[in-house]
C-alpha cells in the first residue's frame, strides 16, 4: 500500500473525529450550554467552577464523611462484614476524597478535573461493596442514587463533566453486576432502571442550573461592558468638562487682563496724546511769541538807568501833537493819552523826533484815538504783545440820504 493510500485512509478518520467534536460543540452552543467566544467560555468556567472554592471544599469534606458513614448501615444489617466494608469505604474517603479536597486549593486550574476524579472514583468503588454484602445488589440502586444526588447538587459540575461521571459509573456498576455470582430475577432491570432515571434527572438539573448560570453570566458581562463603557464615557466627559472649565478660566482671565489693559492704556494714551499736543502747542506759542516780541527783555534790576530829557525838550513835541488837527478830531482824551505816551517814550530815552514822526505817521492808517495810543505805547516800550489788533476798529458804514 502506498503512502498516498495510507494518508487517504487516515484523513477521513481525522475528519470524522474533528467533525464529531464540531457537531457536539455546535449542539452545545445551540442549546445554550456553551459560548461561541472562547474567552467568554473560559471566564464562565472560572466563575462557575472556581468561583466559590471554600463552599466546594466544605461540600467535599461532607461527602467524604457521608461516604464513610454508610458503614453504620452495613453494621446494622450485617455486622460480620463491617471490617471489609469499613476498609473499602473508609479507605476511599481517607486515601482519595480528603487528599483531593486539600489538593483543589493548590491546583485551581485543575479544579474541574479534580472534581471529576472525586466523583468517579467513589462511584466506581461503591459496586464492589455490594459484592461483599450478603444481600448483594438488593440495595445497590439506593446507594448509587444517593451518590448521584450528592454529585449533582453539592458540587459545581457542568453537564459535560456530569455526563462523563454518569457513563463511567454506570459501566462500572454493570461490570460488577455482571461478575456477581447470582442475582434475583428482575433485580438487575430494576437497578438499572432506577439508576438510569437518576442519571437523567441529574443531567437535567445540572443542565438547567448551568443554563441559568450562563444567562446570568451573559447579563453580568453585558452589564460589566456597559459599566466600563459608561465609566469610559464619564471619564471622557469629566476630562472634557475639566478642559472646558480650564478654557473658560483662561478666557475669563484673558478678558480680565484685556479689560484691565484697556482701562489702563486708555488714560495713559489720552495723557500721552494730550501732553504731546500741549508740548507742540507750547513750542508753537513760544516760537510765535519770540517772533512777535523779539528777544526777551532783561530784568528791571539789571536794566540800565533810563536817560532823562529836560521838560523843555518834551514840551515842544507835545504842543505840536496837541495842535495836530487829526488828533484833535479824536477828542481831548485821545490827545492826552498820545501826549502822555510820547512823553513817557521821551523820558525813557527814545528819540523825540522819531516818536513824534511815528505818532503823526500813524494818522492816515489809524483815524481813531486807540491807534494813536497804541503807537505811542509802542514807542514808549509799554505796549504788550497781542494788543496791536485792539487798535483797529472798523468804521461804521454811513447811511446814504
What is the per-residue pLDDT across 174-185, written as a single tens digit (0 to 9) for each? 999 898 888 788
CB 147 within 8 A of CB 165: no
pTM strictly above 0.75: no
The mean pLDDT of 231-240, rounded to a whole number, is: 91
Range with the lowest mean pLDDT among 25-39, 86-100, 139-153, 338-352? 338-352
Go through 266-279 and write b for each residue having 16 or more CB atoms within 10 A of its CB, e for each that does not.
eeeeeeeeeeeeee
> What is the C-alpha to C-alpha distance for residues 7 and 393, in angstroms, rounded to an integer?
141
Nearest to 124 by CA among 172, 90, 167: 172
pLDDT tens-digit map of 271-325: 888 888 777 778 777 777 766 665 554 444 444 554 545 555 545 555 555 555 5
Contacts of 329 (CB under 8 A, 6+ apart): 367
Helix axes 140-154, 159-179, angle to 10 degrees: 170
Go through 85-118 and write b for each residue having 16 or more CB atoms within 10 A of its CB, e for each that does not.
bbebbeebbeebbbebbeebeeeeeebbebbbeb
Dihedral sign for Cα 99, 104, 106, 111, please. positive
Q: How many helices (H) and strands (E) does the chain have?
A: 15, 0
> Per-residue pLDDT for 359 more than 60?
no
CB 166 within 8 A of CB 202: yes
Amino acid at each position: 500500500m502506498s503512502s498516498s493510500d495510507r494518508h487517504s485512509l487516515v484523513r477521513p478518520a481525522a475528519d470524522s473525529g474533528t467533525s464529531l467534536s464540531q457537531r457536539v460543540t455546535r449542539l452545545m452552543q445551540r442549546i445554550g450550554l456553551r459560548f461561541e467566544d472562547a474567552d467568554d467560555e473560559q471566564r464562565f468556567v472560572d466563575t462557575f467552577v472556581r468561583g466559590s472554592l471554600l463552599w466546594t471544599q466544605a461540600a467535599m469534606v461532607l461527602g467524604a464523611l457521608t461516604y464513610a458513614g454508610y458503614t453504620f448501615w452495613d453494621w446494622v444489617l450485617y455486622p460480620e462484614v463491617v471490617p471489609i466494608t469499613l476498609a473499602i469505604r473508609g479507605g476511599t474517603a481517607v486515601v482519595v476524597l480528603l487528599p483531593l479536597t486539600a489538593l483543589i486549593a493548590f491546583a485551581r486550574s485543575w479544579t474541574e478535573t479534580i472534581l471529576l476524579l472525586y466523583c468517579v472514583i467513589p462511584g466506581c468503588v461503591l459496586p464492589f461493596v455490594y459484592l461483599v454484602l450478603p444481600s448483594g445488589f438488593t440495595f445497590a440502586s439506593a446507594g448509587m442514587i444517593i451518590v448521584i444526588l450528592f454529585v449533582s447538587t453539592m458540587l459545581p459540575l457542568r453537564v459535560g463533566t456530569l455526563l462523563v461521571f454518569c457513563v463511567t459509573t454506570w459501566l462500572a456498576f454493570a461490570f460488577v453486576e455482571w461478575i456477581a455470582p447470582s442475582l434475583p430475577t428482575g433485580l438487575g432491570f430494576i437497578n438499572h432502571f432506577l439508576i438510569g432515571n437518576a442519571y437523567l434527572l441529574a443531567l437535567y438539573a445540572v443542565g438547567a442550573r448551568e443554563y441559568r448560570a450562563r444567562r446570568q453570566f451573559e447579563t453580568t458581562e453585558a452589564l460589566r461592558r456597559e459599566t466600563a463603557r459608561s465609566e469610559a464615557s464619564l471619564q471622557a466627559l469629566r476630562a472634557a468638562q475639566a478642559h472646558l472649565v480650564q478654557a473658560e478660566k483662561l478666557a475669563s482671565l484673558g478678558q480680565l487682563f484685556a479689560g484691565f489693559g484697556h482701562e489702563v492704556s486708555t488714560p495713559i494714551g489720552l495723557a500721552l496724546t494730550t501732553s504731546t499736543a500741549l508740548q507742540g502747542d507750547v513750542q508753537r506759542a513760544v516760537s510765535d511769541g519770540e517772533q512777535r516780541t523779539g528777544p526777551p527783555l532783561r530784568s528791571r534790576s539789571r536794566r540800565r538807568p533810563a536817560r532823562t530829557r529836560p521838560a523843555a525838550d518834551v514840551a515842544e513835541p507835545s504842543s505840536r501833537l496837541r495842535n495836530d488837527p487829526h488828533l484833535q478830531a479824536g477828542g481831548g482824551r485821545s490827545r492826552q493819552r498820545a501826549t502822555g505816551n510820547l512823553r513817557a517814550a521821551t523820558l525813557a530815552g527814545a528819540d523825540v523826533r522819531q516818536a513824534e514822526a511815528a505818532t503823526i505817521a500813524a494818522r492816515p492808517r489809524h483815524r481813531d484815538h486807540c491807534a494813536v495810543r497804541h503807537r505811542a505805547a509802542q514807542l514808549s516800550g509799554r505796549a504788550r504783545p497781542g494788543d496791536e489788533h485792539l487798535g483797529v476798529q472798523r468804521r461804521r458804514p454811513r447811511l446814504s440820504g
